[in-house]
Structure 1
Amino acid sequence: MDAWDDIYVVGDVHGCLRALEHLLDRLDPTADDLVVFVGDLVRKGPDSAGVIDLVRSRPNFVTVRGNNEEKLLRGEKSLDELDDEDLRWIAELPVAIHWDDTLVVHAGVDPRKSIVEHTVDDFENIRELGDGSYEPPFWYDEYEGDRRVFFGHTPLEAPVVRENAVGLDTGCVYGGALTACDPRRDRFVSVTPDRTVQERPSRKFVTPRRTVTAD
């Protein structure tokens, strides 16, 4: 962390370029700041190509690969607005980024496994732990690992804030907010998009047990 003046971790953008530009205006990162995205830059929103172009244009912007990027690589989904160069760039993205005691992945980690046992699908898709119960726990409610994990993937009414886990997908594409975290200060900054791109049933949003107030 000492290599950067500030570090920001940004939740799922999903092609919402205008919201991302608004958030970056609020954060005002310089070339000496690191901006890390939790993946799912693409799909569902109106301008996936614009989001990719913006992130690719900044050498101090990095991202992990989310499940929606993975769907493009596996041919499960397609986006006409992306060209072969965009897909090659996506294919080279890591599934995890880490520094010091911090880990950034798209969906989370499985507390029942060591990190080295995780598959790409684990990092990109885990949400609830299939323990056979009627309402299985979310992975972050059971996780007690040494690394603090920043993640997206699960649309949240407000950021999840745990000692060892921070959830940042606050449903921008569904009319929620686009949220960033400053890990050094545990400070959250959110912007609200100017429109709802996709309707999502409110029951699909997860309400964390403990919430924070974003600036």
Structure 2
Amino acid sequence: MNGRIIAIGDIHGCHQELAELLERIAPTKDDRLIFLGDLVNRGPNSCAVIDIAKARGALSLLGNHELRLLNFRKTSDLAFLKETDHDTLDKLRPEDWAYLEQMPLTHYVPELNTVFVHGGFLPGQPWQKQPADIVTRIQVIDRDGRPRKRAEAPGAPAWADLWNGPPFVVYGHTSRPQIYKHKWSVCIDTACVLGGALTAYILPERRFVQVKAKRAYYP
């Protein structure tokens, strides 16, 4: 592995913060950029984020927000959508849909024994075989061992609290005010769209770089 791997947490349309973060990190042609899903929705300009991802040659993973939009596009079933999705739907261009449709679920780097994913994994099962519904949405594990969102199982442990690796997992999705680090995982969704920060995790040096949100874009 020649260059660095630069993973960036949930961007949610915050194109100015993304541009500032990339300027600060100054990726070279040898570096690999990985966006951990949820490039779109809630923030000011989803299309501009996709433009930056394409211009920089980033590998963008599928997040639950992209999955919702793609499911709606396939089925026309409004049950897939949330209120804030409609604004994005109105603005996405054909080339944006093409970009969303090619997003992989995970990216594994054997030299670092590290896997990148949007949401996470159900502990105790092979991570490679877990479906999009789990790996883009999981936040906590309920008392029956099922993957849930935090709101569905208040007080349940985070999946990462029960994940003993290997591999090491770099993920987003579960927004927190601070980076959430364990021996075998790190969450870098620091809630930029809510007024927090946009976070990058740089490997192999294991360094974090952050820029503060210009404001809260979503309540």
Which of 59, 62, 85 matches 1:65? 62
The Cα RMSD (Å) is 1.3
Structure-to-structure mapping, 1:1-215, within 5 angstroms = 2=1, 4-59=2-57, 61-75=58-72, 76=81, 77-78=85-86, 79=88, 80-100=90-110, 101-131=113-143, 135-199=155-219
Normalising to structure 2: TM-score of the pair? 0.86
Which shows bigger deviation, 110-119 or 140-149? 110-119
> Within 2, Cα distance between the matches of 1:24 and 1:134?
36
Unaligned ranges ≥5, structure 2: 73-80, 145-152
Alpha-carbon separation, structure 2, partners of 1:147 and 1:181: 16
**Structure 2: distance between partners of 1:56 and 1:184:** 24
Q: Deviations over 1:77-132 (max 9, x none)?
A: 44211112211210111011111111011001110321243111111000000115
Tell me the SS of whatever aligns to 2:115.
Answer: strand
Match in the other structure for 2:148: none
CA pair 97-116 structure 1, distance change in 2 beyond 3 A: closer
Deviates more, 1:151-160 or 1:133-142: 133-142
| Aligned-pair CA distance for 1:134 | 6.2
Query: Which has more helix, going by share of residues?
Result: 2
Provide the secondary structure at the position in 2 that maps to 1:23: helix
How far the C-alpha of 1:196 sits from its partner, in A, is 1.1
Q: Tell me how far apart the structure 2 counterparts of residues 156 and 99 of structure 1 sit (CA, whole Å).
A: 26
Partner SS state of residue 74, structure 1: helix
Distance 1:178 1:123 in 2: 21
Could you list the runs of 4 or more consecutive aligned residues of structure 1 that deviate by over 2 angstroms after TM superposition? none
Separation in 2 of the partners of 1:136 and 1:72?
A: 28
The number of residues matched between the two structures is 196
Kindly state the Cα deviation for residue 58 of structure 1 after the two structures are TM-superposed: 2.1
Q: Distance in 2 between matches of 1:15 and 1:116?
A: 29
Q: Which runs of 5+ in 1 are unaligned?
A: 200-215
